Amino acid sequence: MKVMDDFFSPRSVAIIGASRNPAKVGHVVFRNFIEGPYKGKIYPINPNTPELFGYRCYSSVLHVPGPVDLAVITVPAPLVLPVLEECGKKRIPAAIIISAGFGEIGNHELEAQVVATAKKHHIRFLGPNCFGVVDPATGVDTMFLPRFKIQRPTPGAIAYISQSGATLSVVLDWMGMKGYRISKFISYGNAADIDEADLMAYLADDPATKVICGYFEGVREGRKFFAVAKRISQKKPIVVLKGGQTAQGGQATLSHTGSLAGEARIYDAAFKQAGIIHAANLEQVFDFARVFATQPAPKGDRVQIITDGGGYGVLTTDAVIRNDLRLAQMRPQTVLALQKAMPSHVVIKNPMDLTGDATTERYRLAIEAAVADPGVDMLAVIVLFQVPALTGDVVEVIEEAKSAKPMVVIAGGGKYTETLKKPLEDGGVPTFSYPEQAIASLRALYDFSHR
Amino acid sequence: MKVMDDFFSPRSVAIIGASRNPAKVGHVVFRNFIEGPYKGKIYPINPNTPELFGYRCYSSVLHVPGPVDLAVITVPAPLVLPVLEECGKKRIPAAIIISAGFGEIGNHELEAQVVATAKKHHIRFLGPNCFGVVDPATGVDTMFLPRFKIQRPTPGAIAYISQSGATLSVVLDWMGMKGYRISKFISYGNAADIDEADLMAYLADDPATKVICGYFEGVREGRKFFAVAKRISQKKPIVVLKGGQTAQGGQATLSHTGSLAGEARIYDAAFKQAGIIHAANLEQVFDFARVFATQPAPKGDRVQIITDGGGYGVLTTDAVIRNDLRLAQMRPQTVLALQKAMPSHVVIKNPMDLTGDATTERYRLAIEAAVADPGVDMLAVIVLFQVPALTGDVVEVIEEAKSAKPMVVIAGGGKYTETLKKPLEDGGVPTFSYPEQAIASLRALYDFSHR
């Protein structure tokens, strides 16, 4: 769908309902456009004022001088139809209808009229009742919450689509804080026109997107969704959290998005058949996503653990076995060479315990050996940065060791540790605080490349 | 054991091996004592210098003028025996032997001599090969890592004992950053004298400690440990993470602490019989601990969910059911009163969805109603602080609603959210980013009070 580009890279955008009143959605959306990195033309539309924050304000899109690629509609529900008519006359190809008050509160007739009007004018639209789009690369940002309340992530390779606007906003905020990087965030609300399957199909061909994530309570058209997912999952990983997996949770989705959550087992089977990776919770969606976005496919399931803390090594070993992966066995010559290069109290096994007097140099030797050894498919590197002799440049040693083998870093602690994890995360090495999350992510990576 | 107080509240402490050299353990320990909040007398012991950072330095504890309650021994292993002899002559009742190089590297004979010498002089000791003690209330802090690398938590009700020093230091650091509050942290290393069972028995009678947590790979004397645990768990919750639960993890513990990890199923059964709460991972230890430290015992298993985000409500419902708790049903009169007081689009069910235009006042009404309703045993309050109309004073409304019913807050997001969660956590309301952790903690709380 060529028109889909108009949602993410429009050359011009009209914000219909832009307002001086900070309590209005149209105010926040307009401010986010003019204060953000968006480079295209911005037209505020409001019949009650000739000017807004230095921008000429138009009473209708029909009075806008140039073409408009995207209309963002924030007016109350009863005004959406006439506004959409004008968008049609202006030949605007794409609209994000943020306005609520349609199917989600039982107003199905009005929603059907919106669909018919859009169809008549060949307008494709997201919503109604949605947050719309955040694309940090182009600066399109219709999330109507101010930046002080919701942080915005920087450009990257993770796409996320969500039926639930609030869940999407929380995740956006959290990823912004963590420094995780996104390609596109999309809240599609009632999905009266564009639905999750359309979005997935678009993201499958989007060169910026390496992994597609989603939170769904139900899907609009099961057959279409799973056909699209099956095709896409051949080339890009799809990671999904399904809300309403218990009968009672399913009841709750009825009050929320009106979705029929369906029976958990049926979804489970359908997800599996479609090659969708099923996350157990929101945190896991983005643990998996970060690893998919940055790490190569592993050749096999053998994990080498390197650590400077015995307890963390033990817990990571437990996690490897519980996730049905195997402990790697390095070749005898690798072990001998490491034994020769390291003090005798260093344990050259799996876990390889560099012990509490570990140095950056020991990490360099250990990681390089594991990367080179054909018996190792993946590396789980535990770095307890707190130990006395370890210096901050261990971060560079780890970054430089990036190779054709997946590698994750496990480092728990406070501010000092978080400060050192940041450059790793920025440099494309996923970091975790606890062993379980790291190893479950390696397992997902292995599964995707060995279906 | 009266002597145990000397480890945590000594009136005077001798740091044997105190040094001007920042690379020495004795340097860091001494600096942490003189720069921290410790109020007692501090005697550095080092035969090579008459003065250290303005403190008179003694060549032996025998030359210290007053009595010494606690000796912290940081000298190399071969010097520990003569030093301990002098401690005996000085009638020092308690020692923390930080020095390594004993049983953990096969030097069992030297360790046996240490035990014999201590016994002869009636010295009780922690270690060897340990970090010792952190007690933020008294300022005793023998963790030999500088504060810039490891943050220190403030005084509170959570005690933690760990065989693994590195794991303890990571957890300490992490809790310091999170603002979680501790009574005592104890790393006991080789447990040549005082072991995990002795420590648990002491903490059981410690008025500052409300919950006892631990990381163990094995226990020194199974029979003694489980007998003590069984007695203590009648009055205080014990939350334990067991390292080496898989056969391969058990192998790794042999290289680490030399513990026989034992078969997972046997430990599982013994833990259960002793009333020990078994955590699945490190994070869960402290999720459970925070809830035990602050929340009352619930009367039953019925959870009322209050939310301003439908998706989070659905996920929390799934978590309640998966944790084998029940969704509360409020009385018809409560529901009617709330329906009257709230706009019609608010969903007065379970989850109660205050929706995306939720206000602080709606939270006040909802929480007060759930606290008052006899059909509700526990409250899971989801607050997505990002929604437009919600103001920061919702935090005070939640804090003021503390009652005889356990309450947890689930709030995901970035910096703005973290800023608002901090006063809740400080005020004794446990906060979580995701539903699963919060509900698993309520389940642990319910289990403990309904065995």
User: Best of A314, A415, A437 to disrupt the B interface by mutation (most B CBs within 10 Å)?
Assistant: A314
Contacts of B246 in chain A (CB under 8 A): 317-318, 321-322
**Tokens encoding B22:** 């920042």
Distance, CA of A259 to CA of A245 (rounded, Å):
12
Following DSSP, what letter does each residue of A226-295 receive, concatenated?
HHHHHHHTTTS-EEEEES--SHHHHHHHHHHT------HHHHHHHHHHTT-EE-SSHHHHHHHHHHHHH-
**B354 to chain A: nearest residue by CA?**
A256
Tell me what pLDDT residue A295 has. 97
Are A248 and B283 within 8 A, CB to CB? no
SS3 A252: helix
Domain regions of chain A by residue span: 1-130, 150-294, 295-449
Cβ contact B272:B240 at 8 Å: no
Q: How far is A28 from chain B (nearest CA, A)?
A: 10
SS3 A113: helix
Tell me what pLDDT residue A258 has. 65
Are B248 and A283 within 8 A, CB to CB? no
pTM over 0.90: yes
Contacts of B308 in chain A (CB under 8 A): 166
Tell me what pLDDT residue A172 has. 92
Are A311 and B349 within 8 A, CB to CB? no
User: Tens digit of pLDDT for each residue in A50-79?
Assistant: 999 999 999 999 999 999 999 999 999 999
Tell me what pLDDT residue A345 has. 87
Domain B296-449 has CATH 3.30.300.160: no
Distance, CA of A40 to CA of A33 (rounded, Å):
10
Tell me what pLDDT residue A246 has. 87
Contacts of A174 in chain B (CB under 8 A): 412-414, 433
Contacts of B241 in chain A (CB under 8 A): 315
For domain A295-449, the CATH superfamily is Succinyl-CoA synthetase domains (3.40.50.261)
Cβ contact B273:B353 at 8 Å: no
**Tokens encoding B267:** 């430990």
Torsion angle of alpha carbons A312, B225, B442, A264, nearest 10°? Answer: 60
Q: How far is A330 from chain B (nearest CA, A)?
A: 16
Tell me what pLDDT residue A259 has. 65
Are A435 and B281 within 8 A, CB to CB? yes
Are B388 and A151 within 8 A, CB to CB? no
Are A162 and B345 within 8 A, CB to CB? no
Q: Which fold has domain B150-294?
A: Rossmann fold (3.40.50)
CATH architecture of the domain A1-130 equals 3-Layer(aba) Sandwich (3.40)
Q: How far is B74 from chain A (nearest CA, A)?
A: 15
B146 φ/ψ angles, rounded to the nearest 5 degrees: -65, 155
Q: What is the ipTM of this complex?
A: 0.93
User: Best of B168, B257, B314, B357 to disrupt the A interface by mutation (most A CBs within 10 Å)?
Assistant: B314
Cβ contact A96:A73 at 8 Å: yes
User: Best of B315, B355, B420 to disrupt the A interface by mutation (most A CBs within 10 Å)?
Assistant: B315
Are A169 and B384 within 8 A, CB to CB? yes
Residues of chain B with pLDDT under 70: 1, 255-263
Compute mean pLDDT per 10 residues along chain A, 451 residues long, and list them. Answer: 88 97 92 94 97 97 97 97 98 96 91 98 96 96 88 94 88 91 94 95 96 90 92 95 88 72 76 92 94 97 96 95 97 98 93 94 98 98 92 96 97 94 95 96 95 80
Instruction: For CA atoms A71, A72, A75, A78, give the dihedral sign.
Output: positive
Are B170 and A247 within 8 A, CB to CB? no
Chains A & B: contacts with CB separation below 8 Å: 240
Q: How far is A378 from chain B (nearest CA, A)?
A: 17
Tell me what pLDDT residue B262 has. 64
Domains A150-294 and A295-449 in one fold:
yes
Tell me what pLDDT residue A217 has. 86
Estimate to the nearest angstrom the gap between the alpha carbon of A343 and the chain centroid. 43
SS3 A15: strand
Are B434 and A282 within 8 A, CB to CB? yes
**A313 to chain B: nearest residue by CA?**
B252
Q: How far is A299 from chain B (nearest CA, A)?
A: 22
Are A318 and B256 within 8 A, CB to CB? no
Are A283 and B434 within 8 A, CB to CB? yes
Are A312 and B247 within 8 A, CB to CB? no
